[in-house]
Structure 1
């Protein structure tokens, strides 16, 4: 061993430089994207190479079918992607706040519509009208009270009059939503699909508004292009889970507003309203109980807990309303678990899906989600320091924590391209941390992934 002090200093310097390079935002971005793409490729290639039966149609890990094609929406989707790539960053940076929220909604809607229209009007009208979805059942319900009282009894696969897959797999709030659409004359597949897209198009504005309310407008603007357009739009368009994601997003806006107001009664009203929407989310999808992580993240970011009792009251009011009408969430969930494992879930190996689910999330949220998480993790100190950066890191990591919790639960084996849509925007907030030099290439990767996947595989959602 050398006793030369200069050699020791040189070794320390080289080590410091190596660590600095590894911690550099460009390195973290490239590594994060590379890891996600690698997982995506492995999740697709390994089942075919080793003849694994993972039960996800013929394009694992997506629940989709290999079907290369173009359609009437193809030129519009390409044109929209090019336009967004050219002007997206500048518009997000320079437009007034109110106009940015409006333009983000319009752009998100156009992007979803163009992608869906690759399959023509059927890409919108046929999806929610499928026999596994809610609408066909919703049209047949003539007594909502009886439906709620019988709901749990009709979940098991061998029960008389068993519910179709998606109705059985969700609490009755999802079915009630589509019953409501049918009752007001929006019960066709096309009309309901447009409603879902309009609501889904509001999600970027809700995520940005949450950041602004919490004091991070600059980061909201930086994340805007990635919130507006990405591959999740393939499934956001006319998926019931996109509607759930919209309700969750606006519940979060209300909670952020409650946490930042200094006035008592507005805080109470906003807190209760937020709790009502969060409570409704739990009756839209069992997995959205995990939104509690996001709600805590909002309160931590705001350094305020006073809205919590009001939000809990709002959520409990929803629980009480369903219980009074014959549906008990805590009785239904164990029955659902039994049905879940009595069906295809028992044939989907956890050892594959526990990591392949993250690959699916890469297809849905886009490969850039790996960079968003890596960059957020590199700034953990901001959680202590607070400020705008602390808000951003908290919400991004809360989003990823929901993904990990859902993944490890074993109740989301496959199909998470739609199931985890409510988590996507919060994880993508981390794209605000992307280095300037890689922002446009990263956005191009997101848009390109969406165009490629919509044109080579067919998903029933």
Structure 2
């Protein structure tokens, strides 16, 4: 299949997948369903709008007007502004737009429900923060508290992640930035900055034209719905800057500095989220696209050593990553995961991804499979494929069943770069379709994040 038709077919198949994923839960097909061994109330609480985690609730808020205005402005002027702005201004403009877009979408649900209160829910990190009176002791005993059904078990989100995630919010509290609003601001600013990191990476790997083409799509991606106030937005931002620095290192005469920075960030990311180990596939794509293999090898060694420093600090503090990873898998199956059948979520996870990235990204991904570009080691194409492969691996691991619109943010944000591959004449319409889908989803479903 050639030309624009490839994108339209892919977007159509993506839309069909989403429709099927929303319809199947109502057909009572045995284990091909979002939840088993659950009461009607549990189904309403955890799977009412499967494959998206939320509840049907057509609503508007004071963020609705700004969100619509940003969407319209992005469609009307985004592509032309992206083409005309001096390059130095593009990453800043993309970051600012992404931040305001995400905040406006959050405000559709209101200040408390949509923003300040999101990270104060009973399973979230902030509930655990007041219990941490001795940080070294918390790290030293962290692994022993991962499993459930013991008196000192960590709450759900703390137990499901390495200690770096909890430590972040503890440190914010210690410097006087405690509470849900400050935590949300932290996640919003860092999560939305991933958009700037992505366009910088694209320019470094594939040039100015590709980066500018992707910029409007990255700035107002539907992923913003979950970036605004979920800790996974924070993880996505950290990982994105790690990849950006890695790309810069492969083109730098003084590669040691950006490579070390990349290693430190990606190493820190490993201690924020176990799943970020899969970001290695995106990193490998960046190194594969390097013009000089010797430079790529030096960058890899430097980054790996820097990441090892992060792991070494945690090991000295008493936490061994692999111990935590083994225990968190056991904790995962102690919880609701055992009631979420893989027969549904193996493919419904991907429907959630389609919702999170939008039809334009699905169409762009179809154009990513360009033999000439891949033979030429096009960095942009390889990075998108790396992110896609990370998602496939995460899905097959069976450690991500439901909530993947949030959990896979560190990978899905990179898929939005594929919109740069869309035919020039159709980009504005694809952008309109993307923002319309994001607005409809955010106004019809009260998302859990």
Fold shared by both chains (TM-score > 0.5): yes
1:111 aligns with 2:101: yes
Aligned to 2:34: 54
1:413 aligns to what SS in structure 2? coil
Q: Where has structure 1 moved over 4 Å in runs of 4 or more?
A: none
1:128 aligns to what SS in structure 2? helix
Aligned to 1:5: none
1:380 aligns with 2:371: yes
Any conservation in 2 of the 1:259–1:305 contact (CA below 8 Å)?
A: no
2:357 to 362, 365, 388: 365
1:70 aligns to what SS in structure 2? coil
Aligned to 2:142: 151
Aligned to 1:31: 9
- Mark the structure with the bigger radius of gyration: 1
- Following TM superposition, by how much is the alpha carbon of 1:51 offset from its aligned partner in structure 2, in angstroms? 5.3
Any conservation in 2 of the 1:141–1:147 contact (CA below 8 Å)?
A: yes
Aligned to 1:261: 252
Any conservation in 1 of the 2:192–2:233 contact (CA below 8 Å)?
A: no
How many angstroms apart in 2 are the aligned matches of 1:132 and 1:421? 19
1:302 aligns with 2:290: yes
Aligned to 2:262: 274
RMSD: 1.2
Any conservation in 2 of the 1:32–1:368 contact (CA below 8 Å)?
A: no
How many angstroms apart in 1 are the aligned matches of 2:232 and 2:27? 32
Aligned to 2:59: 69
How many angstroms apart in 1 are the aligned matches of 2:203 and 2:429? 26
2:407 to 404, 419, 423: 419
2:55 aligns to what SS in structure 1? strand
Any conservation in 2 of the 1:219–1:432 contact (CA below 8 Å)?
A: yes
Aligned to 2:343: 351
Q: Which runs of 5+ in 2 are unaligned?
A: 36-45
Aligned to 1:3: none
Q: Which runs of 5+ in 1 are unaligned?
A: 1-21
Deviations 1:319-365 (A, max 9, x none): 11111011111111111111111211111111111111100001111
Aligned to 2:327: 335
Aligned to 1:44: 22
TM-score, normalised by the number of residues in structure 1: 0.91
1:141 to 132, 147, 165: 132
Deviations 1:114-163 (A, max 9, x none): 11111221111010111211112123211111111111111111122111
How many angstroms apart in 1 are the aligned matches of 2:375 and 2:297? 17
Distance of aligned partners of 1:283 and 1:385 in 2 relative to their CA distance in 1, 3 Å threshold = same
- Following TM superposition, by how much is the alpha carbon of 1:410 offset from its aligned partner in structure 2, in angstroms? 0.6
2:139 aligns to what SS in structure 1? helix
Number of residue-to-residue matches in the alignment: 432
How many angstroms apart in 2 are the aligned matches of 1:392 and 1:71? 37
- Following TM superposition, by how much is the alpha carbon of 1:269 offset from its aligned partner in structure 2, in angstroms? 2.2
How many angstroms apart in 2 are the aligned matches of 1:321 and 1:107? 36
Aligned to 2:398: 410
Any conservation in 2 of the 1:213–1:257 contact (CA below 8 Å)?
A: yes
Any conservation in 1 of the 2:192–2:228 contact (CA below 8 Å)?
A: no
How many angstroms apart in 2 are the aligned matches of 1:306 and 1:215? 21
Any conservation in 1 of the 2:202–2:380 contact (CA below 8 Å)?
A: yes
Aligned to 1:13: none
